[in-house]
Amino acid sequence: MQDLRALDTAAFAERVATSGTRIIDVRTAAEYAGGHLAGATHLDLYAPDFMDRVDTLERDDSYALYCQSGGRSKVARELMAQAGFTTVVDLAGGIAAWRKAGGAIVR
Protein backbone atom coordinates (compact mmCIF):
# COMPACT_ATOMS: atom_id res chain seq x y z
CA MET A 1 0.00 0.00 0.00
CA GLN A 2 1.30 3.43 -0.93
CA ASP A 3 1.26 6.40 1.44
CA LEU A 4 2.60 9.51 -0.27
CA ARG A 5 1.10 12.65 1.27
CA ALA A 6 1.53 15.67 3.51
CA LEU A 7 0.46 15.31 7.15
CA ASP A 8 -0.54 17.95 9.68
CA THR A 9 1.57 18.23 12.83
CA ALA A 10 -0.59 15.87 14.92
CA ALA A 11 -0.58 13.10 12.29
CA PHE A 12 3.13 13.65 11.63
CA ALA A 13 3.87 13.33 15.37
CA GLU A 14 2.01 10.02 15.41
CA ARG A 15 3.92 8.82 12.36
CA VAL A 16 7.38 9.69 13.71
CA ALA A 17 6.48 7.94 16.97
CA THR A 18 5.76 4.76 15.01
CA SER A 19 8.53 2.19 15.28
CA GLY A 20 10.46 1.83 12.05
CA THR A 21 9.66 5.26 10.62
CA ARG A 22 12.83 7.02 9.48
CA ILE A 23 12.82 10.81 9.93
CA ILE A 24 14.64 12.85 7.29
CA ASP A 25 15.42 16.57 7.49
CA VAL A 26 15.89 17.93 3.95
CA ARG A 27 17.04 21.44 4.99
CA THR A 28 20.54 22.88 4.73
CA ALA A 29 23.31 21.88 7.15
CA ALA A 30 23.07 25.26 8.90
CA GLU A 31 19.30 24.88 9.37
CA TYR A 32 19.75 21.34 10.68
CA ALA A 33 22.45 22.49 13.13
CA GLY A 34 20.08 25.17 14.42
CA GLY A 35 17.64 22.54 15.63
CA HIS A 36 15.97 19.42 14.29
CA LEU A 37 13.65 16.61 15.29
CA ALA A 38 15.18 13.94 17.51
CA GLY A 39 16.47 11.00 15.49
CA ALA A 40 16.39 12.86 12.18
CA THR A 41 18.87 12.05 9.44
CA HIS A 42 20.11 15.05 7.47
CA LEU A 43 19.79 14.83 3.66
CA ASP A 44 19.97 18.33 2.14
CA LEU A 45 17.59 18.44 -0.82
CA TYR A 46 19.84 20.95 -2.60
CA ALA A 47 23.05 18.93 -2.16
CA PRO A 48 24.42 17.62 -5.46
CA ASP A 49 24.45 14.06 -4.09
CA PHE A 50 20.89 14.12 -2.70
CA MET A 51 19.52 11.45 -5.05
CA ASP A 52 22.68 9.36 -4.71
CA ARG A 53 22.11 9.32 -0.94
CA VAL A 54 18.40 8.60 -1.40
CA ASP A 55 19.32 5.65 -3.62
CA THR A 56 21.09 4.04 -0.63
CA LEU A 57 17.83 3.94 1.36
CA GLU A 58 15.48 0.96 1.50
CA ARG A 59 12.51 1.66 -0.75
CA ASP A 60 10.07 -0.36 1.36
CA ASP A 61 10.83 1.47 4.64
CA SER A 62 8.59 4.22 6.01
CA TYR A 63 9.92 7.81 5.77
CA ALA A 64 8.78 11.06 7.34
CA LEU A 65 10.32 14.17 5.74
CA TYR A 66 10.35 17.77 6.84
CA CYS A 67 11.94 21.10 5.95
CA GLN A 68 11.42 24.68 7.13
CA SER A 69 7.94 25.35 5.77
CA GLY A 70 6.89 22.30 3.72
CA GLY A 71 8.03 23.17 0.20
CA ARG A 72 11.32 21.27 0.03
CA SER A 73 9.91 18.23 1.81
CA LYS A 74 7.10 18.05 -0.75
CA VAL A 75 9.66 18.12 -3.58
CA ALA A 76 11.75 15.45 -1.82
CA ARG A 77 8.64 13.29 -1.28
CA GLU A 78 7.78 13.52 -4.98
CA LEU A 79 11.36 12.65 -5.99
CA MET A 80 11.37 9.66 -3.68
CA ALA A 81 8.00 8.49 -5.02
CA GLN A 82 9.35 8.72 -8.58
CA ALA A 83 12.33 6.64 -7.44
CA GLY A 84 10.04 3.85 -6.24
CA PHE A 85 9.57 4.62 -2.54
CA THR A 86 6.09 3.67 -1.38
CA THR A 87 5.71 5.15 2.11
CA VAL A 88 6.89 8.76 2.25
CA VAL A 89 5.03 11.47 4.11
CA ASP A 90 6.03 15.04 4.75
CA LEU A 91 5.17 17.64 7.36
CA ALA A 92 2.74 20.28 6.11
CA GLY A 93 4.06 23.64 7.28
CA GLY A 94 7.48 22.16 8.08
CA ILE A 95 9.43 22.56 11.28
CA ALA A 96 7.94 26.05 11.68
CA ALA A 97 4.49 24.45 12.15
CA TRP A 98 6.04 21.77 14.37
CA ARG A 99 7.54 24.42 16.68
CA LYS A 100 4.30 26.42 16.73
CA ALA A 101 2.45 23.26 17.80
CA GLY A 102 4.93 22.76 20.66
CA GLY A 103 6.93 19.96 19.05
CA ALA A 104 10.33 19.15 20.54
CA ILE A 105 13.53 20.23 18.80
CA VAL A 106 17.07 19.05 19.56
CA ARG A 107 20.49 20.46 18.63
Residue 61: which CATH number?
3.40.250.10
Position 75 in a domain: yes
The answer as to whether 13 is a domain residue is yes
- Asked if residue 107 is part of any domain, the answer here is no
Query: CB burial class (10 A; 0-12, 13-18, 19+) of residue 43?
Result: buried
Structural domain total, the chain:
1
Domain limits for position 22: 3-100
Burial of 25 from C-beta contacts in 10 A (0-12 / 13-18 / 19+): buried
User: Residue 2: what pLDDT?
Assistant: 86
Is residue 1 over pLDDT 90?
Answer: no
Q: pLDDT tens, 69-99?
A: 999 999 999 999 999 999 999 999 999 999 9
Q: Is the overall model pTM greater than 0.75, yes or no?
A: yes
pLDDT digits (tens, 9 = 90+) for 2-37: 899 999 999 999 999 999 999 999 999 999 999 999
The answer to the question of residue 105 being in a domain is no
Q: What is the pLDDT of residue 13?
A: 97
